[in-house]
Amino acid sequence: MTVPAHAVPVASRRHQERVAYRQRQATRSKLLAGMSTVLFLVVVGIATVLSPGWDRVREGFLNVQVARDSLPLVAEGFVLNLKVLAVSAVCILVVGLATATIRTLRGPVFAPLRFLAAVYTDLFRGFPLIVLILLIGFGIPGLRLQGVPTNVTVLGTFALVLTYGAYVAEVFRAGIESVHPSQRMAARSLGLTYGQTMRRVVLPQAVRRVLPPLLNDLVALQKDVGLISILGVVDAVRMAQIESARTFNYTPYLVAGLLFVLLAVPTVRLADWVNARATRRQQAGDAW
């Protein structure tokens, strides 16, 4: 169907002038922000280069030859960090969602389960991760239990899952409780069971709402997987420590840090995009 030309609304001149003015202001703001950032970096760079100890710092932390030699070994250890990240991320989602579901169960019969879930989240959100890794990594093998894994990589991953599972559980619980109770009652009135209501009505909305904080937790997890090196796991951080001790130079640590940064940047940008998208949706809903 063809729409007549006279039926298409035409923006007024004043509206067009306002749009053009906003575009000019946005362009000017971006130029000023870019210039000020470049100026700041130049000032910091000059101050750093002209500092009295710059030569020693450059040799100890920014040695190109040491970085080139240590990169393959550190990257090989970084592969282990990626494997731990993949396994722990999946396990954390399962543990977090299960714990959040238990905490939102209704009825007095589920009170013991809700109590245990609350104790779990309160305990492991408050317990320092590095201490937990040490306790699990060195304590469980000391028990000499039959059938219990003693591999330090597995135990370090288990500690990560326990800690981040508690955080993610609270994120999921907030998302579940943000869904209006009327939607649950409407689903139950249509004949859906509690499980069907959670799976088809509540959880899809909850996951969509908590996706930005979940991505932020993933960014934090990407960094904390390096903590398993304190158990002797030869990952990127441990390999950087070995190379630093061999060369008497700190540049391998910088190489390992840059690898973690390169891993985190795409996730950070994705989290920012999801946050902005959620904000636009919310503002559009409020305006509607």
- What confidence tens digit (pLDDT) does each residue in 27-74 have? 888 898 889 989 998 998 898 888 888 888 888 888 999 999 999 999
Any residues with CB less than 8 A from the CB of 148 and at least 6 apart, and which? Answer: 140
Measured between alpha carbons, how far is 103 from 117 in angstroms, rounded to an integer? 6
Residue 133 lies in domain: 80-233
234: left (phi over 0), alpha (psi -120 to 50) or beta: beta
pLDDT, position 84: 96
pLDDT, position 288: 39
User: Looking at the domain assignment, is residue 47 inside a domain?
Assistant: no
User: Looking at the domain assignment, is residue 117 inside a domain?
Assistant: yes
User: Looking at the domain assignment, is residue 66 inside a domain?
Assistant: no
Count up the domains in the chain and report the number. 1
pLDDT, position 110: 87
pLDDT band at 163 (very low <50, low <70, confident <90, very high): very high
Of 91, 124, 88, give the one whose Cα is nearest residue 222: 88
User: Looking at the domain assignment, is residue 202 inside a domain?
Assistant: yes
- What confidence tens digit (pLDDT) does each residue in 225-275 have? 999 999 999 999 999 999 999 999 999 999 999 999 999 999 888 888 877
pLDDT, position 286: 47
User: Looking at the domain assignment, is residue 107 inside a domain?
Assistant: yes
pLDDT band at 146 (very low <50, low <70, confident <90, very high): confident
CA distances (Å), origin 130, targets 73, 98, 126, 189, 232: 25, 25, 12, 48, 13
User: Looking at the domain assignment, is residue 22 inside a domain?
Assistant: no
Measured between alpha carbons, how far is 280 from 228 in angstroms, rounded to an integer? 39
- What confidence tens digit (pLDDT) does each residue in 194-223 have? 788 888 888 888 888 888 889 889 999 999
User: Looking at the domain assignment, is residue 214 inside a domain?
Assistant: yes
Q: Is the pLDDT of residue 8 over 70?
A: no
Q: What is the CATH number of the domain that holds 105?
A: 1.10.3720.10
User: Looking at the domain assignment, is residue 282 inside a domain?
Assistant: no
Q: Is the pLDDT of residue 82 over 90?
A: yes
Q: Is the pLDDT of residue 143 over 90?
A: no
